[in-house]
Every structure is written in structure tokens, then in C-alpha cells.
């Protein structure tokens, strides 16, 4: 079965970005969220992104109109009954994701592939909420989705080879680079990145250096485009904490224990750039 119609569940930053690249690649896209205002906000993000491409001469006005016409709104999960693939991009919470996948298993046709954009949760556990674990797979896009090329494709324990091949082909059609990853906590990207960020926060917590000095060491000494403290703010400190907790629980190793300072900032509501304040203050 050829993949033609895609539903993206979750109209936040990741979901809207996934919907955008799918529409740009020629797919009809249902952007689903529980609240209409969330969908409108997501569509506005897409509109702004595409408008910038027109302004930079990368897309014509007529092409912009065609892309936007491929995007459709959905507040009813029953709309999944007419799609070939669902890409879930909601909050990193296993109970919420399993509930969504259980519903999708009942609603979608037998051929429909169910994919999760989870950044760290086990695909095998998500798949166990369905009666089609062979058709459940991970598609971990990087943020911001329209810009970043990588997609980690995560096989669950039961993921079928033909399902992997279809998702690999889809990823290439979206203009992304697929990388095959097995189902372990944090996969590859976050298993390496988040402990580095957590250790940088420990370095700040222990008074080894200021946040500016830590970021400068990594930027200037290791040639990273952004220091780990500022990167944590951009990712969201609540997201960083969630991933560290998943790594800590999944491996049972204290090297993944979240820094107490990270916990304190999250409890204070200092979640990073999206909250206007994290380790740095944002206007």
C-alpha cells in the first residue's frame, strides 16, 4: 500500500514542523489536536515558516498556496480512519502515548502504520498497546523539523521489515536522512546529548564555572554551534529532565541521575526559552 494521506497528532512545535515537511513533500496532511486554538497556532507557525521561504526566493507564492492547501484541520481522532500513516507528536508521557495508540489501533485501517516521534520512550512498550506491533515504529525528528536533516527510525521488537522500508522511503521523500536505531532508552541522539547537558548543569551546580564560561568552552573548544546550557534552554528544561529520568529508569545507572539544579529550575517553572527564563533570561 502506497502512503498517501498522513495524520500528525499534536500541533505543537514538533507536530507543526512534521506536518509542514509532509505537505511540502506532496502529501495530504491532517493536523490533529484536541483544541482548535492549538491547531490554529500550529498552522500559523507553518504559514510563517513558508512565508519566509517565499521571501528568501526558495518557494514561489503559487507553490506556497499549494502546500497550504494540503493541510487540513482535525479535532476528532476518528478522522484517522482515512489515513495511511499516523505520526504521533504529543508530550513525552508513556500513558498518554499508549492511550492514543490503543485508540488508533481501533480506528485506523489494517494497513495503517502507526509512528511515534518520541525522543526517548520505548517503541516496543508503545506498540504493546496495539494489536499491530509489527506496524508500530519510531520516527524521531530533530528540532526545528523543517531545518534539521536527521530522522532516527526506531524499530520496536516486532516492527516488520516492510514497515521499516516504507518509513525509510517516506523519510527520504521528506528530504531527510534516515538512520536506523534499535529500541533502547534515549536511542542514539538523546542517550549521548542529554548526559552531556546534564553534566554541564552539574558543572554549573558545583561551581566549577559560570554558565557563560561552560558554554564558551564547548563552543570554542569543541566547535559546537551552541553551548550545552543554552541548548538545554532551547530544548526545554522539562524535556531535558524527562529524558534524563527515562534514561535513569531504563538503565538503572546513576550516571544518568538528573542534576538537582535541573529539577529545581523545572519546579520553579523556569523551563527555558519557551517560558522566558531558564538558565538564561529571554525577552
- Round to whole Å and give the CA distance between 83 and 21: 17
Is 119 an annotated catalytic residue?
A: yes
12 is in an annotated binding site: yes
Is position 119 annotated in a ligand binding site? Answer: yes
- 173 among the known binding-site residues? no
Q: Whose CA is closest to 39, among 79, 97, 4?
A: 79
Annotated ligand binding at 61? The verdict is no
Say whether 49 counts as a known binding-site residue. no
Alpha-carbon gap, residue 115 to 62, rounded angstroms:
31
To the query of whether residue 120 is one of the catalytic residues in this protein, the response is no
- Which of 38, 117, 120, 152 is catalytic? The answer is 152
73 annotated to bind ligand: no
CA distances from 163 to 120, 143, 156, 157, 203 (A): 20, 24, 11, 13, 43
The active-site residue out of 116, 119, 198, 242 is 119
- Does 274 belong to an annotated binding site? yes
- Which residues pair with residue 139 across a beta bridge? 153
Catalytic residue among 74, 117, 120, 140: 140
Question: Taking Cα atoms as reference points, which of 105, 87, 66, 92 lies closest to residue 5?
Answer: 87
Task: Say whether 140 is catalytic.
Answer: yes
Instruction: Say which of 16, 116, 117, 190 is annotated catalytic.
Output: 190
Q: Is 33 annotated as a binding residue?
A: yes
Which residues are annotated as part of the binding site? Answer: 10-15, 33, 92, 97, 119, 143, 274
Which sequence positions are flagged as catalytic? 119, 140, 152, 190
Binding residues for NAD(+): 10-15, 33, 92, 97, 119, 143, 274
Amino acid at each position: 500500500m502506497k502512503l498517501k494521506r498522513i495524520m500528525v497528532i499534536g500541533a505543537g512545535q514538533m507536530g507543526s514542523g512534521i506536518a509542514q515537511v509532509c505537505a511540502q513533500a506532496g502529501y495530504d496532511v491532517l493536523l490533529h489536536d484536541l483544541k482548535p486554538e492549538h491547531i490554529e497556532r500550529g498552522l500559523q507557525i507553518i504559514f510563517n515558516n513558508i512565508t519566509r521561504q517565499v521571501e528568501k526566493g526558495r518557494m514561489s507564492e503559487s507553490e506556497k498556496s499549494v502546500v497550504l492547501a494540503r493541510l487540513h484541520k482535525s479535532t476528532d481522532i476518528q478522522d484517522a480512519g482515512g489515513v495511511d500513516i499516523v505520526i504521533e507528536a504529543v508530550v513525552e508521557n508513556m500513558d498518554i502515548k499508549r492511550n492514543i495508540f490503543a485508540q488508533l489501533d481501533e480506528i485506523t485501517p489494517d494497513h495503517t502504520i502507526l509512528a511515534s516521534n518520541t525522543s526517548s520512550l520505548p517503541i516496543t512498550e508503545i506498540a504493546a498497546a496495539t494489536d499491530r506491533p509489527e506496524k508500530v515504529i519510531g520516527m524521531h525528528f530533530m528540532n526545528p523539523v523543517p531545518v534539521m536533516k536527521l530522522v532516527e527510525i526506531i524499530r520496536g521488537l516486532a516492527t516488520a521489515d516492510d514497515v521499516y522500508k516504507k518509513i525509510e522511503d517516506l523519510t527520504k521523500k521528506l528530504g531527510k536522512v534516515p538512520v536506523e536505531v534499535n529500541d533502547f532508552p534515549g536511542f542514539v541522539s538523546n542517550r549521548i546529548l542529554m548526559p552531556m547537558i546534564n553534566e554541564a548543569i552539574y558543572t554549573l551546580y558545583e561551581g566549577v564555572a559560570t554558565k557563560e564560561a561552560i558554554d564558551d568552552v564547548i563552543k570554542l573548544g569543541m566547535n559546537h554551534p551552541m553551548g550545552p546550557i543554552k541548548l538545554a534552554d532551547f530544548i526545554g528544561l522539562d524535556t531535558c529532565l524527562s529524558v534524563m529520568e527515562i534514561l535513569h529508569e531504563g538503565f538503572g545507572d546513576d550516571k544518568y541521575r538528573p542534576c538537582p539544579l535541573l529539577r529545581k529550575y523545572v519546579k520553579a517553572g523556569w523551563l527555558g526559552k519557551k517560558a522566558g527564563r531558564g538558565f538564561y533570561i529571554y525577552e
